[in-house]
Amino acid sequence: MALHEGAADDRRLTVSPFIGAADPLGSMELAPPVHRLAQGPVPADSAYQLIHDELMLDGNAKLNLATFVTTSMEAQATRLMTECLDKNMIDKDEYPQTAELERRCVAILADLWHAPDPSSSIGCSTTGSSEACMLAGLALKRRWMARNAERYAAGARPNLVMGVNVQVCWEKFCTFWEVEARTAPMEGERYHLGAEQAVSLCDEDTIGVVAILGSTFDGSYEPVAEICAALDGLQDRTGLDVPVHVDGASGGMVAPFLDPDLPWDFRLPRVSSINTSGHKYGLVYPGVGWALWRDKEALPEELVFRVNYLGGEMPTFALNFSRPGAEVIAQYYTFLRLGHDGFRAVQQASRDVALYLSGAVEALGCFRLLTRGDELPVFAFTTTGDVPFDVFDVSRRLRERGWQVPAYSFPANRTDLAVLRVVCRNGFSRDLADLLLADLTRLLPELRSQPGPLKDLGVPARTAFHH
C-alpha cells in the first residue's frame, strides 16, 4: 500500500546528465516531483533510468529465501508473457486461444490431482491462491446454506475449521463472508492441524475443514487422509457430512511429483476442492492461481455468472473481472515444457538442496531443526538454549550479506517459539546453499561473542514472515 506523505513533501528525482544522447543539458535540468504529477512529460529513457535506479534498492531475488513465489523463468517464457501483456483473461470471446490454454491447464491439474472424471471437473485460473481460497470457501458456505436453509434463516452462524497455521487469506475469507473461524492452536511439537483437533471443532454449522498441504510456517504437510478418515468416522457416528478443502498453495505442485503415493487429493472422496499457486511451485511468475472442484455439484451454480457484453455469453466465477492472461499462458508453457518428468526433476532438485542445507545447519551445533525439507522443500529451525543470540540476530546479520531469511514467532499456543525459515525454490542451487552456509559459519563467532540477544539489550527485533 502506497502512502501519500503530504502535499508539503516536494522531493524531486534527478537523473544523470548523460541520459539522453541528444540533449544532455535537458537531463541535467530534469527534476520531476515525487508525490505529484510534473507539469510536463519526461523523456522515456529518463523515466526508465529514474525508476531503474531506485529499484536497485530492492533485495536480490536469488538471495530471497523468504518468499515461496517464483523469481526466475526461462527467456522463452518471458518472451511469451511479453507478447501477451495486452490480453485480458476475462475476454474469452476476443482471446479464444488464451481461454483454451486455461481450459487445458484445468484439465492437466484435474488429471494430476486424480479427479474421478477429469472431463467433468470444473475449475478456473485466479490471480493467486488467495482468490482461489475465497472461491472455495464461498462454495463451501453456499453448499452448507442450501442444506441448512431454515437454520441459517433462523440465525445459525456457519463456521470453518482449520489450523492456526493457515495463510491469512482464510482469516480474510471468514471476516469478509461472515463465517466463524474455528482454529486449532499449535501444541507441543504439533505445528499444524491434526485429525483429532479437526473433528473436535466440527458441528452441524461447520461448512468444511481446510487442510494445508504444506504449511508456510515450517513446510510440513497436514495429514489430509487422516483428517478425512476422522471425518468419515464423525459422519458414521452423527450423520454430519463435512467436506474438506485442500489448500495446496505450494504442496499441490510438489506432492504429485515427489510423493505420488501420498493420498491427499481427489482420491479421497471427502475432498471437494483444491487450490494451488501457479506462481509458487507451479514455477510461474506472479500472479496466477488455480481452483478446482471435484465436480459441478461441488460448485453451486449460483456462483457462476454469465456475461454477454464482451462479444458472446461467457461463464465466469472468479472474484476479479479483468486480469492479465500472460501468467496463464506461462503456466501452460511450463506444463508443456517440463512434462511430468521435468517437474519431478525440478522439484526433486529443490528438495535435495533443502535436505542438504538443513543437515548442514544442524551440524553447526547451535541450531535445532523443526523440519528438514523432506515434504515441501522448506525447513524451519531455531537456536539451541545455550547460545547468546536468537533467530532475529541471525536474520539481521545475514541480511547484511544480502540474504533474506525471515525470523518470526509462532502463533498460539507456541508464541514462545521463534524460528528462521528457508524456502528452497527452483534457481536456489547447491552452490548458493554453500555460499549461505559459508556466510552463516563466518558470522557465528561474532554472534557467540554477544553478551545476549540484541532484543534483550534494547535493540528492536526485525520480524518478517512471507507466505
Q: Can you tell me the mean pLDDT for 135-141? A: 96
**At 452, is the pLDDT very low, low, confident or very high (cuts 50, 70, 90)?**
confident
Q: What confidence tens digit (pLDDT) does each residue in 171-180 have? A: 999 999 999 9
The ranges assigned to domains in the chain are: 78-335, 340-457
**At 26, is the pLDDT very low, low, confident or very high (cuts 50, 70, 90)?**
low
Query: Do 105 and 317 touch, CB atoms closer than 8 A?
Result: no
Q: What local confidence, expressed as pLDDT, does residue 153 receive?
A: 94
In this model, does residue 6 exceed pLDDT 60? Answer: no
Residue with cell 506523505: 5
218 phi/psi in degrees, rounded to 5: -145, 0
In this model, does residue 3 exceed pLDDT 50? Answer: no
Query: Do 264 and 213 touch, CB atoms closer than 8 A?
Result: yes
Q: What local confidence, expressed as pLDDT, does residue 226 receive?
A: 98
Q: What confidence tens digit (pLDDT) does each residue in 43-73 have? A: 888 888 889 989 999 989 989 999 999 999 9
**At 27, is the pLDDT very low, low, confident or very high (cuts 50, 70, 90)?**
low
**At 21, is the pLDDT very low, low, confident or very high (cuts 50, 70, 90)?**
low
And the C-alpha cell for 428? 536456489
In this model, does residue 359 exceed pLDDT 50? Answer: yes
Q: Return the H-helix or E-strand segment holding 307.
A: strand 305-307
Report the distance separating Cα 143 and Cα 123, nearest Å: 17
In the chain, the percentage of residues whose pLDDT exceeds 90 is: 74
Q: What local confidence, expressed as pLDDT, does residue 308 receive?
A: 64
In this model, does residue 464 exceed pLDDT 80? Answer: no
What SS3 class is residue 306?
A: strand
What SS3 class is residue 408?
A: strand
Residue with cell 503456466: 331
Q: Which class is domain 78-335? A: alpha beta
Domain 340-457 falls under CATH 1.10.3720.10: no
**At 322, is the pLDDT very low, low, confident or very high (cuts 50, 70, 90)?**
confident
The per-residue pLDDT of the chain, averaged, comes to 90
- SS3 string, 341-400, reads HHHHHHHHHHHHHHHHHHHHHHHCCCEEECCCCCCCCEEEEEECCCCCCCHHHHHHHHHH
Q: What local confidence, expressed as pLDDT, does residue 1 receive?
A: 41
Query: Do 12 and 33 touch, CB atoms closer than 8 A?
Result: yes
78-335 and 340-457: identical CATH topology? no
Compute, in degrees rounded to 10, the torsion defined by CA atoms 279, 282, 283, 285.
Answer: -20
211 CB contacts (<8 Å, ≥6 apart)? 193, 198, 222, 223, 224, 227, 244, 245, 246, 247, 264
Q: What local confidence, expressed as pLDDT, does residue 246 receive?
A: 98
Report the distance separating Cα 458 and Cα 400, nearest Å: 20
DSSP for 119-137, please give it.
TT-EEEEESSHHHHHHHHH
In this model, does residue 121 exceed pLDDT 90? Answer: no
